[in-house]
Amino acid sequence: MDDEMAGQRAARPAQRRTARRRILLWIVLGLLVLCLAGAGLSALSNQSLPDSIEDSGRLSSLDKARLAETLQLKQTFGDQVWPGLSTTQIPILLWNRDYSFLIESDINAAPTGWEEVPDDTFLGRPYYRQVSDDPQNFAVQVADRWVASIGTKLETDLFIREMIQESLPPPIGQVVPYRLLIQPSEVQMSAVVHEGFHVFQQANAQARFEDAEMAYQDGPSYWAIDPAMNDAWQEEIETLVQALETESDEEAAALARQFLSQRQSRRRAHNLSPNLLDFERRFEWLEGVAKYVELGIWRQAARTEDYHPQPGMAEDPDFDAYTGFDGRWAQEIGQMKRQADQEGDTRFYYTGMAQAALLDRLLPGWKDQVMREGVWLEDLLAQAIA
């Protein structure tokens, strides 16, 4: 009997190991089935995503709805975000890979090189097109006018999807859940305002706008020494983020002072030339302030309870009625924190935007000064804490 009980006790560990292996096997098989099912559903969902523009020669109904809503945003909240923005006429150029479309409110004939889009209008007025030729997102000149140029939302969605597909092996590229990567329409519409603000800058501070564009020529020299400054840049960015997030104006001022001190120390330690100092300042003025306006328009729409979007936006499946602003702001702050070791002018979008947001708290009226010759955001921040 003792031998039999001993044998049973010896067998139990083996039985438990077998049971555990069987459970583990079922778990692995279950996860595999879930992964395969998820991949299949993702691939199936991707097939329903548009992969082309049905009629690239004219604006779609959604393009028109989003543009009408963007114009309403600018008219309703423009002056709250930046004095004079609401009433400034800003022509808009929307483009896809085939055509660029020019929408202006004060002309009735096609500019040279453009044709009227046949049998179509926007808000009851004709608009114009030409074959796309290396379009870009920025302020561009059409004849003697500056216009806000940006891709349509669908074109942007397609670009992101194609960029990911090209970077992955075909089987994986087919099952990436691209639908989860589609940005809300508010991103594209506020970006139109961003590019429109560049037109505003050109119109109201032409010399400064032209000077800011000179920053690009110093890019190679700046990025050659930038890796050595990454750690110091990280400290500056983290200080700016803390200043944005504090609820105390006194603490915000103290952190602004710390940021300026860190910035001065970094520049001295790496012996930045006047041109490279202006490289940072120019981009913060040009792109940082435009980023501030971009997010400010969205914030105002989100915070205004009695604001009513254009009726056509009810048909837009990607429109969140501005409810996603807080999530977007968190994403932007997260992106800002990752800029210290990233080459490219995107870093200055965020550091300029952050300084502008701090100036709202610390120096009311700063917007009247920042368009003046030789006045930089950091100068106004130093004035605010003096």
Q: For residue 280, which of 237, 322, 245, 315 has the smallest C-alpha distance?
A: 237
Band (pLDDT 50/70/90 cuts) for residue 70 is very high
pLDDT of residue 39: 45
Rounded distance between C-alpha atoms, residue 78 and residue 210, angstroms? 24
Strands (E), the chain: 92-95, 99-103, 115-116, 128-131, 138-142, 145-151
**pLDDT band (50, 70, 90) for residue 165:** confident
Spell out the domain ranges in the chain: 1-48, 61-202, 205-385
pTM to 2 decimal places: 0.86
Q: How confident is the model over 120-145, as a mean pLDDT?
A: 94
Residue 44 has pLDDT above 50, yes or no: no
Share of the chain above pLDDT 70, in %: 83
Tokens of 287: 């792109």
Predicted local confidence at residue 168, as pLDDT: 79
For residues 178 and 61, which has the higher predicted lDDT (pLDDT)? 61
Residue 47 is predicted with a pLDDT of 47
Burial class of residue 18, CB neighbours in 10 A (0-12, 13-18, 19+): exposed
For the chain, percent of residues with pLDDT exceeding 90 = 75
Lowest mean pLDDT among 46-50, 118-122, 221-225, 354-358: 46-50
pLDDT tier for residue 1 given thresholds of 50, 70 and 90: low
Over 60: is that where the pLDDT of 75 sits?
yes
pLDDT digits (tens, 9 = 90+) for 104-117: 867 677 889 999 99
Q: How many other C-beta atoms can be found within 10 angstroms of the C-beta atom of residue 116?
A: 14
Q: Are 378 and 260 in contact (CB under 8 A)?
A: yes
